[in-house]
Amino acid sequence: MMATHISSGACLSVFCQRKGIYRVRAVASESAPAASKIEEEKVKLGGSDLRVTRLGIGAWSWGDNSYWNNFEWDDRKMKDAKSAFETSVDCGITFFDTAEVYGSMLSLGAVKSETLLGRFIKERKETDPELEVAIATKFAALPWRLGRQSVLTALKDSICRLGVSSVELYQLHWPGIWGNEGYLDGLGDAVEQGLVKAVGVSNYSESRLRDAYERLKKRGIPLASNQVNYSLIYRAPEENGVKAACDELGITLIAYSPIAQGALTGKYTPENLPTGPRSRIYTPEFLIKLQHLLNRIKEIGENYNKTPTQVALNWLIAQENVVPIPGAKTAEQAKEFVGALGWRLTSEEINELRSMALEIQPVIGFPAEKL
Q: Which of 267, 280, 292, 370 binds ligand NAP (CB under 6 A)?
A: 267
At residue 196, the 3 state secondary structure works out as: strand
The CA dihedral of 70, 71, 72, 73, to the nearest 10 degrees, is: 100
Q: In what order do the strands lie in the sheet with 2-5?
A: 2-5, 11-18, 21-27
202 contributes a contact to ligand NAP by CB under 6 A: yes
Q: Which of 92, 118, 222, 262 binds ligand NAP (CB under 6 A)?
A: 262
Q: Are 203 and 174 in contact (CB under 8 A)?
A: yes
Q: Which of 58, 103, 175, 237 binds ligand NAP (CB under 6 A)?
A: 58
Q: Which of 13, 203, 225, 319 binds ligand NAP (CB under 6 A)?
A: 203
Candidates 3-11, 52-60, 180-188, 232-240; binding stretch for ligand NAP (CB under 6 A): 52-60
What distance in Å separates the CA atoms of residue 83 and residue 245, rounded to the nearest whole number?
A: 37
Instruction: Tell me the residue nearest to ligand NAP as measured from the CB.
Output: 58
Judged on CB neighbours under 10 Å (0-12, 13-18, 19+), 161 is: buried
Helix (H) or strand (E) holding 172: strand 167-172
252 contributes a contact to ligand NAP by CB under 6 A: no
Closest listed residue to residue 306, CA positions, set 326, 267, 336: 336
Q: Which of 87, 336, 338, 363 binds ligand NAP (CB under 6 A)?
A: 336
The number of residues that bind ligand NAP (CB under 6 A) is 28
DSSP 341: S
Binding mask 61-90 for ligand NAP (x = CB under 6 A): x-----------------------------
In the complex with ligand NAP, which residue's Cβ is closer, 3 or 81? 81
Please state the closest distance from residue 39 (CB atom) to ligand NAP, in A: 22
Please state the closest distance from residue 171 (CB atom) to ligand NAP, in A: 7
What distance in Å separates the CA atoms of residue 84 and residue 97, rounded to the nearest whole number?
A: 13
Active site residue 213: no
Please state the closest distance from residue 258 (CB atom) to ligand NAP, in A: 5
Residues 342-371 that bind ligand NAP (CB under 6 A): 366
Amino acid at 33: P
Please state the closest distance from residue 127 (CB atom) to ligand NAP, in A: 26
In the complex with ligand NAP, which residue's Cβ is closer, 3 or 290? 290
What distance in Å separates the CA atoms of residue 45 and residue 52, rounded to the nearest whole number?
A: 7
Q: Are 288 and 263 in contact (CB under 8 A)?
A: no
Q: How many CB atoms lie within 10 A of CB 97?
A: 28
What distance in Å separates the CA atoms of residue 222 and residue 211, rounded to the nearest whole number?
A: 12
How many Cα atoms sit within 13 Å of 367 on the Cβ side?
1
In the complex with ligand NAP, which residue's Cβ is closer, 227 or 319? 227
Q: Are 163 and 124 in contact (CB under 8 A)?
A: no
Amino acid at 125: K
Catalytic residue among 22, 67, 102, 304: 102
Candidates 6-14, 74-82, 122-130, 260-268; binding stretch for ligand NAP (CB under 6 A): 260-268
Please state the closest distance from residue 304 (CB atom) to ligand NAP, in A: 16
Please state the closest distance from residue 23 (CB atom) to ligand NAP, in A: 27
What distance in Å separates the CA atoms of residue 62 and residue 136, rounded to the nearest whole number?
A: 15
Q: Which of 29, 115, 225, 227 binds ligand NAP (CB under 6 A)?
A: 227
Residues 114-173 that bind ligand NAP (CB under 6 A): 173
Which residues have a catalytic role annotated?
Answer: 102
